[in-house]
Amino acid sequence: MTAVQVTSVSKSFRGGRRALDRVSLSIAQGEMVALIGASGSGKSTLLRHIAGLVGADRGEEPGRIEVFGAEIQSGGRISGHCRRLRADVGFVFQQFNLVGRLSVMTNVLLGSLGRIPAWRGTLGLFQNAEKHHAMEALHRVGIADFALQKASTLSGGQQQRAAIARTLVQKARLVLADEPIASLDPASATKVMETLATVNREDGITVVVSLHQVDYALRYCPRAIAMQAGRIVYDGPSTGLTPAFLADLYGSERPGSAPAADPGHPPLGPVGSAALAYLS
Amino acid sequence: MTTITRELPAHRHSNAWYLGWATILGLLVWSWEGAGMNPSLLLRYGGNVVSFGKGFFPPDFSDWRMFLEETAVTIKIAVWGTTLAIVCSVPLGILCSENMVPWYVHQPVRRLMDVFRAINEMVYAMLFVVIVGLGPFAGVMALWVHTTGVLAKLFAEAVEASDPRPVEGIRATGATWLQEVVFGVVPQVLPLWISYSLYRFESNVRSATVLGLVGAGGIGQVLWEDVRGFYYAQTAAVMVFIIVAVSLIDFLSQRLRRVFQ
Ligand SMILES: Nc1ncnc2c1ncn2[C@@H]1O[C@H](COP(=O)(O)OP(=O)(O)OP(=O)(O)O)[C@@H](O)[C@H]1O
Ligand SMILES: [Mg+2]
């Protein structure tokens, strides 16, 4: 069964910048896929489209996105069932996106919101089974000891694992992780990638992870999709990424094709060269 | 050989500078007459001030039991007026926030809040005295409406300054809009909301002391009746009650606010 089916999706933001340019791809259930590309190439935009958080261009050729065979958006219109579909899709954000003032446990429990009756979720009346499930998820990602701490008091790597635990409680069958390790030190980054690989291997959860570090992509993801200026320029086994191709992917950015001074993103030069060093 | 002279740059006021001062002076002169400015009255009736002042001393606390009860009524008016306003300001504040609702919701709600806020509590009190009759309930209604206008705006500002990322994190789990508000927005803004609410409670106690002037109950009504009846000794005692009560509430509320910062 295909987990994700993207057909000819384009997205232009105001100002005419084309963030996605007729993107099509298909990801089978159980795959672990790396999404790579220079800053501004459209990785986050693509993932957010798949989760139905943004609508694509209406355009002349209407793009479609299906998740597990159900349409999450088509021709720029987000499906009316998107709330139910989103429950199948866990999202892990670069900045963790936990609610800092709530406990780790509560944050993880919130994953069940899409599955339980709306009134019960709104009142925060979680049942014991759900709480046990949340605790179990925290054990699996190795942060059970912090369950009652405020989320904001955790380290970046721990918060990221809490975010993964939330997708487990959500019973997501697809996890989209947008640069989950970009703001982590190498040890935490490895832990987070290991956790993602474990849920992929043991639970058969499909994982799509956007990465700046090509070495991590090679180590954990059998398949890689490379983007450049909103287009898919490579889709295949990650072992097929040649140093020359990567140099082109990260090096030949046209000036102005990426936000030049975006403080939110680390400069790509060193990352690209580290990846090349790893490859050579 | 040339000598280098270092002169300070000539400092000249621009025309706008003169114009600004001229406008301010003009405004003051123009307002003199309308405001009935007449300092000579103070001099001429200076004797009155002294005898008036003498009338205040010693303050007459013989009715202290009644003063205490009426002070309590004033505080009760503020408690209910503020509480009802907080309850209404939570949903209205969310509906005023441009990051939570589309413009065709937040624009009309904001204009409504502007109206609530633009009119002074005293004016509302006069209106509600006509509607619900003399007494404290008119005061509660007046504070309720005005404070809702103020708090909804402050609450909305806090919501608009909140971090959108946790909210999106919750949306991605398949949560409803209301659940996004409850779990994503409210935990972030709650400390500010509490602080604003306590601050408004303080100022509502102060406002409630004068609501009595239009017949909306409480210690203000006693004050008004004493002034009108020339009972200056009682008036002084009432003012002492007001000062003590307001200072006490201010002090307690400020301590409490610090806890939530
Ligand atoms: N909300 C938005 N409004 C306007 N332009 C946007 C918006 N979001 C993204 N873009 C633009 O779309 C393009 C793709 O951005 P995107 O965030 O998807 O890139 P990315 O590959 O995730 O980059 P990074 O690696 O830096 O995160 C960029 O040029 C960006 O400036
Ligand atoms: Mg990105």
pLDDT above 90 covers a percentage of chain B that reads 45
Res. B46 pLDDT band, cuts 50 70 90:
confident
Residue B132 placed within a domain = yes
Q: Would you state the structure tokens that stand for residue B173, as one six-digit string? A: 């789990």
- d(CA A269, CA B177) in angstroms, rounded, equals 41
- Ligand 1 centroid to Cα of residue B5, in Å, is 57
Query: What residue type is B113 in one-letter code?
Result: M
Ligand 1 atom closest to A94 (CA)? 27
Q: What percent of chain B lies above the pLDDT cut of 70?
A: 97
Note the pLDDT tens digit of each residue in A17-40.
Answer: 788 988 999 999 999 999 999 888
Which residue's CA is the closest to the ligand 1 atom numbered 4?
A13
The tokens 């982590």 sit on which residue?
A184
Please give the residue that has the higher pLDDT: either A79 or A151. Answer: A151
Lookup: tokens for A206: 């499909």
User: For chain B, how many structural domains are there in total?
Assistant: 1
Residue of A nearest to B188 (CA): A101
pTM: 0.79
Q: Which of A53, A84, A97, A120 to mutate to probe the B interface, most B CBs <10 Å? A: A97
Nearest C-alpha of chain B: how many angstroms from A146?
A: 19
Phi and psi, residue B86, nearest 5°:
-65, -45
Please give the span between the terminal C-alpha atoms of chain A, in angstroms, as a whole number: 36
Here the CATH number for the domain that contains residue A109 is 3.40.50.300
Question: Is B16 a member of any domain?
Answer: no
Interface of A with B (CB under 8 A): 51, 53, 83-87, 89-91, 93, 95-102, 106, 110-115, 118, 121-122, 124, 163, 166, 170
B185, B159 in Cβ contact below 8 A?
yes
Q: For residue B178, give its domain range.
A: 64-259
The string of DSSP codes covering A74-133 is: ETTEEPTTHHHHHHHEEEE-TT----TTSBHHHHHHGGGGGTS-HHHHHTT---HHHHHH
Q: B106: number of CA atoms within 13 Å, CB side?
A: 17
Helix or strand run (H / E) with residue A235: strand A231-237
* Chain A residues in contact with B179 (beta carbon < 8 A): 113, 118, 121-122
CATH number at residue B202: 1.10.3720.10
Distance CA B182, CA B193 (A): 14
Total tally of structural domains belonging to chain A: 1
Instruction: Tell if the CB–CB gap between A114 and B188 is shorter than 8 Å.
Output: no
Domain of A168 in residue numbering reads as: 2-279
Residue A13 Cβ inside 6 Å of ligand 1? The answer reads yes
A113·B170 Cβ contact <8 A: yes
Residue B4's pLDDT is 65
Q: Residue A257 CA: which ligand 1 atom is closest?
A: 29
Report how many Cβ contacts below 8 Å link chain A to chain B: 82
Q: Is residue B169 part of a domain?
A: yes
Distance from CA of B178 to the nearest CA of A (A): 7
Structure tokens at A145: 């000891």
> Which pair of tokens denotes residue B154?
């402050």
Distance A229 CA to ligand 1 centre (A): 10
Confidence of residue A260 (pLDDT cuts 50, 70, 90): very low
Q: Fill in the amino acid letter for B144.
A: W
Confirm whether the ipTM is greater than 0.85. Answer: no
Q: Does position A108 have pLDDT exceeding 90, yes or no?
A: yes
Closest CA to A67 of A1, A4, A23: A4
Cα–Cα distance measured from residue A71 to residue B132, given in angstroms and rounded to the nearest whole number: 57
In single-letter form, the type of residue at position A250 comes to: Y
Task: With cut-offs at 50, 70 and 90, classify the pLDDT of residue B1.
Answer: low
